[in-house]
Amino acid sequence: MIKVTTVPVKSYLSKSKIPGADYAINPYIGCPHKCLYCYAKYMIKFSAHTEAWGDFLDVKIAQTPLRPAQLFHAHVLLSSVTDPYNPFEQKYGLTRKILAQLADAQAYVSVLTKSPLIVRDIDLLQQLPQCEAGLSFSGADETLRARIEPGAASICAKIEALKTLHAHGIRTAVMIAPLLPQLTDWEKIITLTRPYTDTYRIDRLNMRTTILRPVMDFIEMYYPHLLPLYRDLFLRQQTEYWDHLSHTIRAYVQQERLAAEVFF
Ligand code: SF4
């Protein structure tokens, strides 16, 4: 059961420290996708919530509209610490309303989601002067996906969404992250998405303090044979595995002439 609350905020817009983005817009606080590895869990400490991450959602109601002059050709990221197309977006439509304002302002927009609901807004995405629609994958195995991202859409549904976006002329990106050692079949994700993807972004699992225990418990429960490796990588901070994987992926994308950024 997810506790949903509407909360007034001054504005949806916040300055972004993410390279390439002037602003970030997070229409919601919390995220019902409930990914085990979610780095945005730290947001709980800025709220009064006692529920676990994924069990609450604050629906932000901004008191002032976005200012078009401020956003003209500014690069806006939707979103950085929530999923703008979480299942409650169907009911509240905040992301759609915000996108309409961004289209009026002629902002440059990058969207990142794990939901096929993004295709609902193709009409607005097409009105933006620059737009990139990103779908995020942490694996190509649906059993793993259901365990680790229980509230998010299936792999097939996300691929269908990519296909639809691409067919409507929207520039698409696939984020392969986080790479889970021995679990994320990054090459299969590329094979499945390649016909509909303009660019790839690939990153490893970065183990923040808030997710260390849940991830290690998860590995112990479902993939106990991988526990020694995970201990080496995340408790003993061994780097050889990552160096080798980074080298392998870089060589692959170069050989396949893929537009890709590898962040580790
Ligand atoms: S979709 Fe993104 S913001 Fe939502 S729980 Fe997963 S990682 Fe966190």
User: Would 17 be classed as within a structural domain?
Assistant: yes
Q: For the segment 173-193, what is each residue's pLDDT rounded down to a tens digit?
A: 999 999 999 999 999 999 999
Q: Is 90 exceeded by the pLDDT of residue 28?
A: yes
Q: Residue 256: which of 206, 193, 211, 205 has the closest Cα?
A: 193
| Shortest-distance atom of ligand 1 to CA 54 | 5
Q: What is the pLDDT confidence band of residue 209, given thresholds at 50, 70 and 90?
A: confident
Which residues have CB under 6 Å of ligand 1? 31, 33-35, 38, 40, 82-83, 114, 152
User: Would 70 be classed as within a structural domain?
Assistant: yes
Top mutation candidate among 83, 95, 138 for ligand 1, by most atoms within 8 Å of CB: 83
Supply the pLDDT for residue 208.
Answer: 85
Between the alpha carbon of residue 104 and those of residues 51, 89, 137, 169, 246, the distances in Å are 37, 21, 31, 19, 41
| Shortest-distance atom of ligand 1 to CA 81 | 3
User: Would 162 be classed as within a structural domain?
Assistant: yes
The tally of domains found in the chain comes to 1
Domain range for residue 87?
3-207
Q: Is 90 exceeded by the pLDDT of residue 166?
A: yes
Top mutation candidate among 29, 31, 77, 203 for ligand 1, by most atoms within 8 Å of CB: 31
| Shortest-distance atom of ligand 1 to CA 53 | 5
User: Would 184 be classed as within a structural domain?
Assistant: yes
H or E element at residue 109? strand 108-113
Q: Is 90 exceeded by the pLDDT of residue 127?
A: yes
Q: What is the pLDDT confidence band of residue 171, given thresholds at 50, 70 and 90?
A: very high
Supply the pLDDT for residue 78.
Answer: 97
Between the alpha carbon of residue 48 and those of residues 35, 52, 136, the distances in Å are 21, 11, 29
User: Would 140 be classed as within a structural domain?
Assistant: yes
User: Would 240 be classed as within a structural domain?
Assistant: no
User: Would 18 be classed as within a structural domain?
Assistant: yes
Q: What is the pLDDT confidence band of residue 11, given thresholds at 50, 70 and 90?
A: very high
Supply the pLDDT for residue 43.
Answer: 85
CB count in 10 Å sphere of residue 92:
18
Q: Is 90 exceeded by the pLDDT of residue 204?
A: yes
Q: What CATH number does residue 51 fall under?
A: 3.20.20.70
Question: What percent of the chain shows pLDDT beyond 90?
Answer: 92
CA of 255 to the centre of ligand 1 (A): 31
Mean pLDDT value across the chain: 96
CA of 257 to the centre of ligand 1 (A): 30
**Mean pLDDT computed over 189-212:** 95
Q: Is 90 exceeded by the pLDDT of residue 198?
A: yes
Q: For the segment 1-10, what is each residue's pLDDT rounded down to a tens digit?
A: 899 999 999 9
User: Would 188 be classed as within a structural domain?
Assistant: yes
Q: For the segment 36-76, what is each residue's pLDDT rounded down to a tens digit?
A: 999 998 888 888 899 999 999 999 999 999 999 999 999 99
Token digits for 151?
A: 């509230």
For atom 3 of ligand 1, the residue with the nearest CA is: 82
